[in-house]
Amino acid sequence: MAEQVRNLAGVDKAAVFLRSVGESEASEILKHMTPKEVQKIGAAMSVLTNVSREEVQGVLDNFVATVEEQTGLGIGSHDYVRNMLVGALGEDKAGSLLDRILSGGNTTGLEQLKWMDARAIYEVIKLEHPQIISIVSSFLEPDQAAQVLGMFPERDQANILLRIATLDGVQPSALTELNEILEKQFSGTAGGQTATVGGVKTAADILNFVEGSVEASIMEQIKESEPDLGQNIEDLMFVFDNLIDIDDRGFQTLMREISTDDLMLALKGADEGLKEKFFNNMSQRAAEMMRDDLEASGPVRVSDVEMAQKAILSAARSLSDKGEIMLGGGSGDDFL
């Protein structure tokens, strides 16, 4: 049974844990999560069935072991930083610095958008100026922004992404205009500080989640009008084939976070070198079973393969953000 617990993806472990602690406690925990995290865990909880007592105990043991390794340094960090800076600089001087460090200004309306599905966001912004659309897209999660971008006509997609790539901040007047657009659904007023949004990295992150054929079309249009910028975006994109550059320790960490179904689909479209990388980081028996399953499986839709690959890439980027793996090679334990 311990082996079954180890095969649970991270989101499935979280789902088992939340189902174990009870509704009220789970609700309190979910309040501290991002919209994307809530959606992923909620989906996992909704399909959670046939969980054995041993699996539950394994998840709880893993949670206790993880908690015991943590310190209290991160608890209440926002209040600590705020009080420290106000005490040192005073309310006025600390104000702008706090906005940049803690929140980038008042973005309440934009944060509310993250709880909406892509179609609803598109309906709110579809008739707005491309610059407004680019600002909104920059505040969304990359995969969410990619879904919204995909709903615009093809002729508009490259223009929007180009504006995202060249954004380096939003002035108070722009935030005021944006809040006026959103006030039909949300309340709140704009802050007075410039918020840093957009940029080449944001554009690259969004493109990582765009469907392959659409991504190629957008990049072609951008390179035609802005060759250097297009190359910069392309250089920052992390695609499925780049996974081969992760070292073995990081690769094994990644494999614990992805489902067998996603891996099966993703490998249908992978080159032989990357397939071998995955097989080499499995047990011999698991690798043999995966090879046999791949050979026996029939044709699959390209869109399904791309979706599975993007799910694995999303897991890799999440682990990289946490410092647990290094996308360019090396694991989280190899750097400080």
**pLDDT, tens digit (0-9, with 9 covering 90-100), for 89-138:** 566 555 544 544 444 444 455 666 777 778 888 888 888 888 888 888 88
Residue whose C-alpha is closest to residue 106's, from 33, 171, 193, 196: 193
Within 8 A by CB and 6+ apart from 281, the residues are: 248, 251, 252, 255
Q: Which amino acid is at 130?
A: P
Question: Which of 33-37, 185-189, 304-308 ranks highest by mean pLDDT?
Answer: 304-308
Task: Identify whether the C-beta of residue 241 lies closer than 8 Å to the C-beta of residue 271.
Answer: yes
- For CATH 1.10.220.30, list the domain ranges present in the chain: 107-236, 240-334
Residue 228: is its pLDDT beyond 90?
Answer: no
Q: Give the helix/strand (H/E) hosting 223.
A: helix 212-225
Least confident of 55-64, 95-104, 226-235, 246-255: 95-104
Task: Identify whether the C-beta of residue 47 lies closer than 8 Å to the C-beta of residue 16.
Answer: no
Residue 267: is its pLDDT beyond 50?
Answer: yes
Question: Could you tell me the fold of the domain covering 240-334?
Answer: Annexin V; domain 1 (1.10.220)
> What six digits make up the tokens of 120?
């609803």
> Coil, strand or helix: which one is 178?
helix
Residue whose C-alpha is closest to residue 205's, from 166, 161, 172, 167: 161
> What six digits make up the tokens of 79?
């209040």
Residue with tokens 């993806």: 9
Q: In terms of pLDDT, which residue wins out, 205 or 98?
A: 205
Residue whose C-alpha is closest to residue 139's, from 168, 114, 169: 114
- Reported pTM: 0.46
Residue 152: is its pLDDT beyond 90?
Answer: yes
The per-residue b/e assignment along 218-236, b for 16 or more CB within 10 angstroms, e otherwise, is bbebbbeebeebbebbeeb
**Per-residue confidence (pLDDT) for residue 331, from 0 to 100:** 40
> What six digits make up the tokens of 104?
């980038």
Task: Identify whether the C-beta of residue 281 lies closer than 8 Å to the C-beta of residue 251.
Answer: yes
Mean pLDDT score across all residues of the chain: 75
The architecture in CATH of the region 2-68 reads Orthogonal Bundle (1.10)
Gyration radius (Cα) of the chain, Å: 22
Residue 15: is its pLDDT beyond 90?
Answer: no
Least confident of 5-9, 27-31, 186-190, 220-224: 186-190
Distance (Å, rounded) from C-alpha 86 to C-alpha 93? 8
Within 8 A by CB and 6+ apart from 265, the residues are: 300, 304, 305, 307, 308, 309
Least confident of 32-36, 135-139, 272-276: 32-36
CATH C-level class of 107-236: mainly alpha
Q: In terms of pLDDT, which residue wins out, 332 or 177?
A: 177
Percent of the chain with pLDDT over 90: 3
**Per-residue confidence (pLDDT) for residue 336, from 0 to 100:** 35
pLDDT band, very low/low/confident/very high, at 1 (cuts 50, 70, 90): very low
Q: In terms of pLDDT, which residue wins out, 180 or 17?
A: 17
Task: Identify whether the C-beta of residue 225 lies closer than 8 Å to the C-beta of residue 159.
Answer: no
